[in-house]
Structure 1
Amino acid sequence: MSCVLTVDVGNTTTNIGLFSITRSERPSSAVEPETELLGSCILTTPDRLTTDEARIQLEQALALMPNEPIDGTILSCVVPTLTDSWRAALSFSCGVRVLVVGPGIKTGVRMNYDDPAEVGPDRIADVVAARATYGSPALAIDLGTTMNFEVIDEHGAFAGGIIAPGVALGARSLAEAAARLPIIELRAPERVIGHSTRAAMQSGVVLGEAARIDGLIDAVFEELGYSAPIVITGDGAESLAALLRHEATVDTTLTLRGLALIWQANVRHLRH
């Protein structure tokens, strides 16, 4: 058994998770869902971060988790200016080589994308975890600053996806663009037809997001020619899943688990 520390730096939040992994005897490119989350922590992602600041945040996060020896670390970062700081902090605090998800990483998943280097590391992690956990085909939906659809086809390949503004970004843009509209709480209203400005905005933003997701799911399945299990992760996943017409599984650790699985797939490669 190994322990791996996973760090997913997003535009809004940074998620940290400690996993125990039972190694597979299959080739290193094989990904096995033999993981257990031992502890996790969510931080706010700042605009800028020094290596020392990243070290402080990391050590505070580790203090909230079981005191287990760390065998490896893996970093997913969609904010390029923060990558070096987090990589240096992980290397210093954990004393092990840091694997950064990017071009050349081993995933065991064929990427049917015009330029695989364009696919964000968090999206890759979602694909790996969704395929390992839910099989092929599968559809992963990640809610955050952006809303990402990741499509795994019936052959287990990454078929592509959809990127759209996230629900919080949509609400913020609406309030910023229209002077008389307020910032609203992101929750579903009691009825579709709002009887106040806030309720009307909640209907348009929250119920509208659910309707958009349902519509995109229908379009994806129509284009594929078959349906697939749906898994939702990210900010407000449970609340939004309850509003969908489609049945969906909420998996809050999907991205971090995908990072742990990618580390497992690369561990032999790192030792050479």
Structure 2
Amino acid sequence: MLLAIDIGNTNMEFGVFSGNEIIASFRLVTNRDITSDEIGLFTSQFFQENSLDRRDISDIVIASVVPQVMYSITNAVKKYFYNKVPLIVGDNLPFDIVNCYDNPRDVGADRLVAAIAAYKKYGGPLIVVDFGTATTFDAIGPAGEYLGGAIYPGIKISMDALFTKAAKLPRVELVRPASVIGRNTVTSLQSGAVNGYVGAVRNIVSLMKREMGGDVRVVATGGLAKLVGDETDIFLAIDRSLMLDGLYLLYESYQKKQGRMAP
């Protein structure tokens, strides 16, 4: 079995693969001060509750955009998974994608991993919209090459900034109100947040499709993908497992190049 770990700015997602299928997954809040023992104990409890044996994990692959967590996560892996040395995307696990960015190192590992998975699953050309801490729009060409993209403040970041800077505005739940015209402060904030964000996403996708030309597919992923996806028909699919699937595909490609079969 393979343990895939995606470390984002907001959450760390752990997925256990048997063959090419995810059989179990869980998330932890990304805490830059978390210790290796905290990660190890959470993971051990998860394995126990799902009747999984840590000794059955043959390899571990990690993608991270949070360098501060890497010391703890790699030490947790070695300590709680019997001295396994993890494969780290962009380090000892190379990206299997043509990267057209001016400086390829500037692209976050998460964006490239999602691009690889989306192209493999849906074909190209396509746009991947990832609703995370930031909302990223990534363009993938017809041959699977990474063309570039756009980065937009995440909807939660936007609302937190509004709450912080405007003394009389409360925090609100991110749901679509019954009407665009809010009748109180809460529904007015919800209308602006959800409807405004959907409009921004539609516009950026439309402009990117115009530049790319042809029949461009659009796929959404990330924690808030369904919130926006329910309000628009621009997405071919809402795929919450895209990052973990991408990690498996990278690992599978690496194993084949090494003359080995993925577990």
Same fold (TM over 0.5): yes
Offset at residue 120 of structure 1 (A): 1.1
Give, in angstroms, the shift of residue 181 of structure 1.
Answer: 0.6
What's the counterpart of residue 48 of structure 1? 33
**1:269 positional shift:** 5.7
Deviation at 1:65, TM superposition (A): 3.6
Distance in 1 separating the partners of 2:191 and 2:247: 35
Counterpart residue type for residue 13 of structure 1: N
Residues 155-188 of structure 1, C-alpha deviation per residue, up to 9 Å, x if partnerless? 2101111111111111111111111111010011
State the match for 2:193 in structure 1: 205
Q: Which runs of 4+ in 1 moved over 6 A?
A: none
Residue 158 (structure 1) aligned to one of 146, 161, 166: 146
Between Structure 1 and Structure 2, how many residues are aligned? Answer: 257
What amino acid maps onto 1:167 in structure 2?
Answer: I
Partner of 1:76: 63
Number of the residue aligned with 1:27: none
Show the counterpart of 1:236.
Answer: 224
User: CA 1:231–1:138 in 2, change beyond 3 Å: closer, same or farther?
Assistant: same
Q: Is the 8 A contact 1:76 1:122 kept in 2?
A: yes
Equivalent residue for 2:127?
139
From 88, 93, 104, give the equivalent of 1:116.
104
- Which has the higher relative contact order, 1 or 2, with Cα contacts under 8 A spaced 6 or more apart? 1
Which runs of no fewer than 5 residues in structure 1 stay unpaired? 22-34
The percent identity for this pair of structures is: 30
Contact map agreement 2:93 2:251 (CA 8 A) in 1: no
Sort the Cα spacing of 1:115 and 1:66 in 2 relative to 1 into closer, same or farther, 3 A.
farther
Q: Deviations over 1:77-120 (max 9, x none)?
A: 21111011101111222233201112574333111111111111
Q: TM-score, normalised by structure 1?
A: 0.89
Distance 1:104 1:115 in 2: 20
Amino acid at match of 1:175: F
Question: How does the TM-score come out when normalised to structure 2?
Answer: 0.91
Q: Name 1:26's counterpart in structure 2.
A: none
Alpha-carbon spacing, 1:123–1:206, altered in 2? closer, same or farther (3 Å): same
The whole-number CA distance in structure 2 between the counterparts of 1:67 and 1:198 is: 44
Q: What amino acid sits opposite 1:110 in the alignment?
A: V
Counterpart selection for 2:21 from 25, 36, 39: 36
Residue 46 of structure 2 aligns with which residue?
61
Residue of structure 2 in register with 1:24 after alignment = none
Displacement after TM superposition at 1:255 (Å): 0.6
Q: Helix, strand or coil: the match of 2:143?
A: coil
| Structure 2 counterpart SS, 1:47 | coil
Distance 2:197 2:236 in 1: 15
> Are the structure 2 counterparts of residues 42 and 62 from structure 1 closer, same or farther at C-alpha, using a change threshold of 3 Å?
same
